[in-house]
Chain A
Amino acid sequence: MHIFEGFLPSPWWQLWFVFSIPIIFFGIYRLNKLVSEKRELLPLLAVAGAFIFVLSSLKMPSVTGSSSHPTGTGMAAILFGPAIAAVLSTIVLLYQAIFLAHGGLTTLGANVASMGIIGPVAAYIIYKVGMKANINFYVVVFLAATFADWITYVVTSLELALAFPAEVGGVAASLKAFMLVFATTQVPLAIMEGALTALIFKYVIQVKSDALLQLNVISESVLDKIKGASQ
Chain B
Amino acid sequence: MTNILDDYALVSPLRYRNNWLKLTIITFGLLMGVSSQSFILPFTVAFCMSFATVHFGKIPVGFYLKLLSAPAVFVILSVIIIAFFFGSGTELFGFNVFSYRFGINTGGLDMALLVFSRTLSGMSCLFFLALTTPMVELFSVLKATKLPDSLIELSMMMYRYIFVFLEVAWGIRYAQTVRLGYKDWRTSLNSLAMLATTLFIRSWEQGEKIFISMSARCYDGRILFFEEKRPVRATELILTGTYFSAILVLWYLTNDISIF
Residues on A facing B (Cβ under 8 Å)? 1-2, 4-10, 13, 28, 31-32, 35, 39-40, 42-51, 53-55, 57-61, 63, 66, 87-88, 91-92, 94-95, 97-102, 104-106, 160, 164-168, 173-174, 177-178, 181-182, 192, 195-196, 199-200, 202-204, 207-208, 211
* Total of A-B residue pairs, C-beta within 8 Å: 238
Contact B150 A55 (CB under 8 A): no
Stretch at the interface among B14-22, B204-212, B224-232, B240-248: B204-212
Interface residue B5 (Cβ < 8 Å from any Cβ of A): yes
Contact (Cβ within 8 A) A53 B70: no
- Chain B, interface SS category: helix
**In the complex, A196 Cα to B194 Cα: how many Å?**
9
Q: Mark B108-146, 1 if CB is under 8 A from A, else 0.
A: 100100010011111101110110000100100000000
* Nearest CB of chain A from residue B68's CB, rounded to whole Å: 9
- Smallest Cβ-Cβ distance to A195: which chain B residue: B189
Residues of A within 8 A of B30 (CB): 5-6, 105-106
Q: State the Cβ distance, B161 to closest chain A Cβ, in Å.
A: 4
Contact between A42 and B74 (Cβ–Cβ < 8 Å)? no
Contact B157 A46 (CB under 8 A): yes
Chain B residues within 8 Å of A, Cβ to Cβ? 1-6, 30-31, 33-35, 42, 67, 70-71, 73-75, 77-78, 81-82, 84-88, 107-108, 111, 115, 118-123, 125-127, 129-130, 135, 138, 148, 150-151, 153-155, 157-162, 164-166, 169, 173, 182, 185, 188-190, 192-197, 199-201, 203-204, 206-208, 210-211, 214-215, 221
**Alpha-carbon gap, A180 to B190, bound state (A):** 30
Do B5 and A40 touch across chains, with their CB atoms under 8 A apart?
no
> Do A177 and B84 touch (CB < 8 A)?
yes
**Bound: A4/B34 CA distance, A:** 12
A177 vs B84: C-alpha distance when bound (angstroms): 10
Asked if residues B75 and A7 are in contact (CB atoms below 8 Å), the reply is yes
User: Measured between alpha carbons, how far is A46 from B164 in the docked complex, in Å?
Assistant: 12
Which residues from A are CB-within-8-Å of B190? Answer: 199
Say yes or no: A54-B169 contact (C-beta < 8 A), given A7-B78, A13-B34: yes
Contacts of A66 in B (CB 8 A): 73
Which residue of the partner chain, among B121, B161, B197, contacts A204 with CB atoms under 8 Å?
A: B197
Decide: A6 and B87 in contact? CB cutoff 8 A.
Answer: no
User: Which of the residues B70, B77, B151, B193 comes within 8 Å of A28, measured between beta carbons?
Assistant: B151
The 9 closest A-B pairs by CB, nearest first: A6-B122, A5-B122, A46-B157, A199-B193, A203-B197, A50-B161, A166-B85, A6-B118, A44-B207
